[in-house]
Homo-oligomer: A and B are copies of this chain.
Amino acid sequence: MKILVTNDDGIFSPGIKALARAMSALGEVYVVAPDVEQSAVGHGITVRRPLRFKHTAAAGLDPIPAYRVDGTPADCVVLGVHLLGRPDLVVSGINIGVNLGLDLTHSGTVAGAIEGTSIGIPSIAFSLDVGSRNGMDFEPGAAEAVRIARWVAEHGLPEKVFLNVNFPVNAPRGVRITELSTHHYEDTVVERVDPNGVPYYWIAGKPTGSEDPGTDLWAVRDGYTSITPISLDLAEHGFMPALRAAFEG
């Protein structure tokens, strides 16, 4: 089995190292990841400029082949598939910080899984809740990731569906299959003035959302690994009759 590993924190992140090494238990692993952090880039693909694709021994992943790209996680999946061959599985992460609820559309980690799913490859996004950046431990999550990836390799996933997985701060108490919560970053804008007296604006976000039972946020905060199956068939069928009555005919 061939496994493409990507992320959005960049190729030098400890999270991708832990994930790539753990995945070696399942097959042939190769890493294609952004050269710098790409958080909050969403599912962008770079089409207006060329990209570089460079072998990166300095990533410390030897003997796993590791390549860096000056683009987004989706770019990494596209280039990885074209230049290194089509994998059987795409895994993205382990992200430093959760990707939950309404945040999914912003997440570069999730974008790696979306790109894999779009081209028909079973895909999984992995993220770790971090209490503090000093104390974070990717190993329990990496072990759990292998168990989940093995199941996906054996059973497959429905068409257009991928798994979004979040690990709790400490070693997980178990697994919960969850709904998406209302978790998102409440946008705030900080206004400042530059040395030339011209204003500039910085978007910041405060994590918010309620820990309703059964949701992804609830599960990770309760110490469980959260797995949410995500569908790329985004149409809301329940609202179609009202729209048909209003606009068709």
From the candidates B39, B46, B202, B239, name the one contacting A229 in the complex (CB within 8 A): B239
Give the distance in Å from the alpha carbon of A51 to the alpha carbon of B203 in the complex.
Answer: 8
Contact B203–A45 (Cβ < 8 Å): yes
- In the complex, which of the residues B40, B177, B202, B236 contacts A247, with contact meaning CB atoms closer than 8 Å? B177
This chain's copy number in the assembly: 2
Tell me the chain A residues, 160-200 only, with Cβ under 8 Å from chain B: 160-161, 163, 174-180, 184, 187-189, 192, 198-200
Cβ distance A99 to chain B, nearest Cβ, rounded Å: 12
Q: A58-77: which have CB < 8 Å to B?
A: 74-75
Chain B interface: which of A23-31, A87-95, A102-110, A135-143? A102-110
Whether A200 contacts B234 by the Cβ 8 Å rule is no
With A74-B42, A83-B189, A201-B53 already in contact, the answer to whether A235 and B180 are too (CB < 8 A) is: yes
- Asked if A240 and B233 sit within 8 Å, CB to CB, the answer is no
Does A207 have its Cβ within 8 Å of any Cβ on chain B? Answer: no
Q: Which residues of B contact A74 (CB under 8 A)?
A: 42, 106
Docked CA distance A41–B157 (Å): 27
A230 interface residue per 8 A CB criterion: yes
In the complex, what residues of B have CB within 8 A of residue A200's CB? Answer: 50-52
Given A47-B205, A50-B192, A105-B114, A228 contacting B235 (CB threshold 8 A)? yes
Which residue of B is nearest A192, CB measured? B50
A42 to B246, CA, bound (A): 30
Known pairs A41-B42, A42-B44, A42-B105; list 7 more (Cβ under 8 Å).
Answer: A44-B106, A102-B160, A105-B105, A105-B118, A157-B239, A175-B247, A230-B234
The 6 closest A-B pairs by CB, nearest first: A42-B42, A42-B43, A231-B236, A50-B200, A175-B247, A82-B189
A contact set with B: CB distance below 8 Å: 37, 39-48, 50-53, 74-75, 78-79, 81-83, 102, 104-106, 111, 114, 118-119, 148, 151, 155, 157-158, 160-161, 163, 174-180, 184, 187-189, 192, 198-205, 227-236, 238-240, 242-244, 246-248
